[in-house]
Amino acid sequence: MKAPEIAKTAKPGQFLEIKVSETGEPFLRRPISIYNLDGDIVEFIFQVKGKGTKLLSEFEIGSKIDIMGPLGFGTFKVQEYNNVAIIGGGIGTYPLYELTKELKGKTNINVYLGFRDKNLVTCEKEFEKIGLNKLVITTDDGSYKEKGFAIDFMKKDIEEHKVDMIFACGPLPMLKAVRKYAIENNIPCQISLEERMGCGIGACLGCAVKVISGEEPRYGHVCKEGPVFNAQDVEI
């Protein structure tokens, strides 16, 4: 998509709210992460899940598309680190690409991407081209590359070489496991939550998450305060 205003200001971890049809049906926009920024071009990648993403997949090249964004105040923090681990699963792979590109040159990067099976593996070549310290691809059923869960490969490497940040985005069970591991091992960790969303701008409470960083727990909006949070600051 050509969108210079978005491309100029977007940060890794931010997302777009996309109107998927001209007719106003479905009414709610669909949240999709920013995958890649390249000049005036903003790229996103999505899986067709239901009605909304099916309609989105039917847009013709050259047509206009109504998008709100970039959204989300909680973004991945890009700065100099010594070693980082980036872990993603399924569609959670997409927001990690721009992050990885922006971290390149600032730190040693190990990337761990997990998928259910061979048919769902995505963006392997694109990550390879960035030039990483290490890229591990896992499938739950062993139909491609390493068999097992990406987190187990990450843990094994961290035991040998410490990291000073873990970045994660993926299905809830993966995020829960990464968060638990990071907290137990005292490793700073940023997680991106892909909650179901309604409005995408903090108006509907459709994306509430328990925030535990203050004195009293409270509910925050993933769409506004996130989607990226410090793992220690939210209960998932």
Ligand X SMILES: Cc1cc2nc3c(=O)[nH]c(=O)nc-3n(C[C@H](O)[C@H](O)[C@H](O)COP(=O)(O)OP(=O)(O)OC[C@H]3O[C@@H](n4cnc5c(N)ncnc54)[C@H](O)[C@@H]3O)c2cc1C
SS3 68: strand
Cβ-contact 100, 111 below 8 angstroms: yes
Closest CA to 111 of 125, 119, 120: 125
Cβ at position 28, least distance to ligand FES in Å: 9
Interface of this chain with ligand X, residues 166 to 205, rule: CB under 6 A = 194-197
Query: For ligand X, which is the closer residue by CB, 85 or 95?
Result: 95
Query: Which one of 69, 88, 200, 220 is in contact with ligand FES (CB under 6 A)?
Result: 200
Query: Which one of 51, 104, 106, 147 is in contact with ligand X (CB under 6 A)?
Result: 51
Choose the one of ligand X, ligand FES, none that binds residue 212, judging by a C-beta under 5 to 8 angstroms depending on kind: none
203 is an interface residue for ligand FES by CB under 6 A: yes
Q: How far is residue 115's CA from residue 136's CA, in Å, rounded to a whole number? A: 11
Query: Which one of 9, 22, 40, 47 is in contact with ligand X (CB under 6 A)?
Result: 47
DSSP 147-181: ES-HHHHHHHHHHHS--SEEEEES-HHHHHHHHHH
Q: How far is residue 146's CA from residue 101's CA, in Å, rounded to a whole number? A: 24
Query: For ligand X, which is the closer residue by CB, 30 or 101?
Result: 30
Query: For ligand X, which is the closer residue by CB, 15 or 112?
Result: 15
Choose the one of ligand X, ligand FES, none that binds residue 119, judging by a C-beta under 5 to 8 angstroms depending on kind: none
∠ CA 216-217-220 to the nearest 5 degrees?
125
Binding site residues, ligand X, CB under 6 A: 15, 30-33, 44-47, 49-53, 91, 94, 194-197, 227
